[in-house]
């Protein structure tokens, strides 16, 4: 069984790190990789000992498993795949309604890393968590770079500086990492999430949980947030507006899978914030949690900077590559049996992450 890794063209992250080749060779017989696959993550071609460098077209037409990060294989290239080949990438089918239809017509066996269930068993394959964790960490560092103040309390001969106040909206994987990072840097942190289950996690990181009464029950939503009632949203908006006005940094991470991100900070709130404060919106690519946020841009509203960036994992390509590559390795260890992937298997991880099959 040959596995081939394609270089990513949207980021510096590599789907394969050198340390994983020997581990992969216990699961498959041959590892192919595109030249300079790890260049952006500071891995040289010669580091990939025991892997064979092949061209993109050789990998697409000859590998049994083709691995990408962001899918960019063209229809013509899909048609050149081996009939039984499996393509693994972050397809995000919940954000593209025509994708499954297109891949089905092309008879592609596609596994989407972002469809792997968020269960304990699948934790080691969870690319969403890997990338969100980096994004959460980076979000605070990005805010820091734009801030005109210290984050921790400083007692100096010239006088004392008060610690900055951080408000984290959405306490999932990214939000919890942002809380931990802001706390390590000495900020006073408050956090809010509609899922009451995260309250204890927020508190255990040393942050205060902002409570809004009357959230809808989300225990049947597979761990994801559910849409809230209008009344709840109004109460939430009023409290967030109040907290935002005192914050030096706000990190927003709230997502609703397959739907536009909830608007948590209105333009009115932004205009009432202190000049010099910074909002980092990780949901910018799905419409943003903050009004006025533009993905991949920094917008200045009366001295308040709104940084829209949903790809902060790209700022740490080396560790992002290690985590993505480990997630792939762990998935393969789970789904390759006797040198093959049984696409008809009712295994929970495989059946949920296969988005299209050739038969």
Q: How far is it, in rounded angstroms, from Cα 30 to Cα 84?
A: 17
Q: Pick the catalytic residue from 126, 193, 248, 281.
A: 126
Residue 145 CB partners (closer than 8 Å, separation 6+): none
The CB-of-256 to ligand NAD minimum distance in angstroms stands at 6
Q: Which of 65, 83, 77 is nearest to 4 (CA)?
A: 65
Among residues 61, 104, 118, 319, the one annotated as catalytic is 118
Which of 80, 238 has the CB closer to ligand NAD? 238
> Over the Cα atoms of the chain, what is R_g?
22
- Between CA 134 and CA 101 the distance in angstroms is 32
Q: How far is CA 25 from the centre of its chain?
A: 28
**Is 114 in contact with 70 (CB distance < 8 Å)?**
no
Chain residues binding ligand NAD by CB under 6 A are: 118-120, 123, 126, 128-129, 132, 169-175, 192-195, 223-225, 253-257, 262, 264
Complex with ligand NAD: residue 100 or 196, whichever CB lies closer: 196
For ligand NAD, the closer CB: 171 or 270? 171
Q: Burial code of 177-208, b = ≥16 C-beta within 10 A, e = fewer?
A: bbbbbbbebebbbbbbbbbeebbebbeebebe
Q: Is 224 a catalytic residue?
A: yes
Nearer residue to ligand NAD within complex by CB, 8 or 193: 193
Instruction: For residue 121, give the nearest of 314, 333, 340 by alpha carbon.
Output: 333
Q: Give the DSSP letter of residue 95.
A: G
Catalytic choice (14, 129, 133, 325): 129
Q: Is 236 a catalytic residue?
A: no
The residue from 50, 57, 204, 224 that is catalytic is 224
Residue nearest to ligand NAD (CB): 172
Q: Is-catalytic flag, 150?
A: no
C-alpha distances (whole Å) from 188 to each of 94, 165, 166, 251 are 36, 5, 6, 13
Question: Rounded to an integer, what distance in angstroms lies between the CA atom of residue 241 and that of residue 224?
Answer: 24
- Give 59 or 128: the residue with its C-beta nearer to ligand NAD: 128
Residues labelled as active-site residues: 118, 123, 126, 129, 224
């Amino acid at each position: 069984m040959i596995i081939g890794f394609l270089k990513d063209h949207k980021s510096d992250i590599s789907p394969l790190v050198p340390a994983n080749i020997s581990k992969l060779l216990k699961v498959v017989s041959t590892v192919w990789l595109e030249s300079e696959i790890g260049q952006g993550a500071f891995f040289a071609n010669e580091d990939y000992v025991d892997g064979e460098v092949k061209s993109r077209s050789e990998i697409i037409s000859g590998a049994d498993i083709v691995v990408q990060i962001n899918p960019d294989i063209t229809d013509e290239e899909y048609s050149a795949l081996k009939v039984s080949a499996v393509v693994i990438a972050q397809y995000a089918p919940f954000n593209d309604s025509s994708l499954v239809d297109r891949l089905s017509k092309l008879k592609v066996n596609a596994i989407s890393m972002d469809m792997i269930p968020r269960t304990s068993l699948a934790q080691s394959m969870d690319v969403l968590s890997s990338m969100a964790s980096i994004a959460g960490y980076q979000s605070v560092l990005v805010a820091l770079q734009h801030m005109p103040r210290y984050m921790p309390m400083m007692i100096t001969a010239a006088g004392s500086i008060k610690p900055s106040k951080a408000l984290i909206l959405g306490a999932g994987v990214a939000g919890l990492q942002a809380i931990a990072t802001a706390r390590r840097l000495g900020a006073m942190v408050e956090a809010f999430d509609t899922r009451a289950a995260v309250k204890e996690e927020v508190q255990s990181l040393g942050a205060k949980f902002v409570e809004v009464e009357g959230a809808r029950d989300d225990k049947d939503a597979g761990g994801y947030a559910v849409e809230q009632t209008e009344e709840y949203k109004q109460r939430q908006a009023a409290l967030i507006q109040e907290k935002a006005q005192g914050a030096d940094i706000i990190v927003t991470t709230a997502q609703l899978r397959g739907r536009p991100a909830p608007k948590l900070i209105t333009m009115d709130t932004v205009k009432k914030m202190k000049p010099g404060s910074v909002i980092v919106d990780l949901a910018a690519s799905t419409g943003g949690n903050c009004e006025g946020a533009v993905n991949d841009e920094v917008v200045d509203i009366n001295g308040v900077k709104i940084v829209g960036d949903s790809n902060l994992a790209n700022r740490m390509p080396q560790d992002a590559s290690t985590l993505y590559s480990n997630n792939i390795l762990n998935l393969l260890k789970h789904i390759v049996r006797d040198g093959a992937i049984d696409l008809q298997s009712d295994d929970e991880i495989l059946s949920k992450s296969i988005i299209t099959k050739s038969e």
